[in-house]
């Protein structure tokens, strides 16, 4: 998922890997890979619910299995990061934040893996979605975690901008937005979109476009609608039909 590979191609590759793992009898990695496949299916299916659950997949059961003491903590970290991504994209920001906090302690088991980057990116976006309405201790905790994860994204972007700049710039734009730094947010969203497009991160271009749409909506309706169209196109190219259709429906309802 990290590289923004179109979901159809990612699913084909995952199915091939799943067949190999089943022949090897690797039950743990089979469960983890199936969760990725269900995430892809969820993104492609308007009728799916708010979790990864389906007739063929029990999210809570997989979580219990991966929490077993005999199972690799890195596998549990991967699964929790996937749950954070799914909840964020479902608009369940509080739950995304809660799951991300539960899985923070697992990050040392994923050192050197893209799981850490996915976790940081979506945790930051969940925080920026929650901050405007947060207060007291909750706001303090949100802000502290956002600062720490933003610094991590900045470090990764400095070392490898091709892989990480679009993520860091998107988070930076959202941070500027919630601080009321409108001009800075304008600039950072433009840079985030350019970096995502240049480096072919379809999912980041889609997410950044959607966030920029909300940022511009009150000031320039025409620009906001242009960004909505860009987000829809990027979600479609990625294969996230669910997200594209949600934006089409919200446009029809004037939101």
- pLDDT higher than 90, residue 119: yes
What are the structure tokens assigned to 194, written together? 């350019």
Sign of the torsion angle spanned by Cα atoms 152, 154, 160, 164 = positive
CB-CB contact of 241 with 46 (8 Å): yes
- pLDDT higher than 70, residue 18: yes
Residues 229-243: pLDDT tens digits?
999 999 999 999 999
Paired residues of 54 in beta bridges:
57
Supply the pLDDT for residue 46.
85
Average predicted confidence (pLDDT) for the chain = 91
Distance CA 123, CA 113 (A): 16
Q: What is the Cα gyration radius of the chain? A: 18
> What's the whole-model pTM score?
0.93
Distance CA 178, CA 131 (A): 7
Q: Stretch 168-180: mean pLDDT, rounded?
A: 98
CB-CB contact of 115 with 80 (8 Å): no
- pLDDT higher than 90, residue 4: no
Phi/psi at 57 (5° precision) = -145, 130
Residues 22-62: pLDDT tens digits?
777 766 666 677 788 889 989 998 877 888 988 888 999 98
**Confidence at 169, pLDDT banded by 50, 70, 90:** very high
Q: Where are the domains of the chain?
A: 1-145, 160-255
CB-CB contact of 77 with 120 (8 Å): no
- pLDDT higher than 90, residue 89: yes
């Amino acid at each position: 998922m990290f590289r923004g590979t179109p979901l159809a191609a990612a699913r084909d590759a995952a199915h091939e890997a799943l067949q190999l793992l089943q022949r090897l009898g690797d039950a743990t990695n089979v469960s983890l890979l199936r969760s990725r496949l269900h995430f892809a299916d969820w993104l492609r299916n308007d009728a799916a619910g708010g979790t990864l659950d389906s007739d063929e997949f029990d999210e809570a059961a997989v979580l219990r299995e991966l929490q077993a003491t005999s199972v690799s903590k890195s596998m549990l970290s991967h699964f929790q990061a996937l749950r954070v991504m799914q909840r964020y994209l479902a608009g369940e920001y509080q739950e995304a934040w809660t799951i991300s906090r539960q899985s923070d302690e697992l990050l040392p088991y994923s050192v050197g893996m893209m799981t850490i980057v996915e976790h940081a990116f979506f945790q930051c976006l969940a925080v920026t979605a929650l901050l405007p309405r947060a207060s007291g201790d909750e706001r303090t905790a949100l802000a502290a975690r956002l600062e720490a994860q933003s610094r991590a994204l900045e470090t990764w972007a400095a070392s490898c901008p091709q892989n990480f700049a679009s993520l860091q710039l998107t988070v930076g734009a959202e941070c500027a937005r919630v601080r009321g730094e409108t001009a800075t947010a304008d600039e950072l969203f433009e840079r985030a979109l350019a970096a995502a497009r240049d480096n072919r991160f379809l999912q980041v271009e889609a997410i950044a476009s959607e966030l920029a749409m909300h940022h511009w909506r009150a000031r320039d309706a025409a620009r906001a609608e242009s960004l909505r169209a860009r987000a829809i196109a990027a979600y479609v190219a990625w294969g996230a039909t669910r997200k594209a259709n949600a934006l089409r429906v919200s446009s029809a309802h004037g939101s």
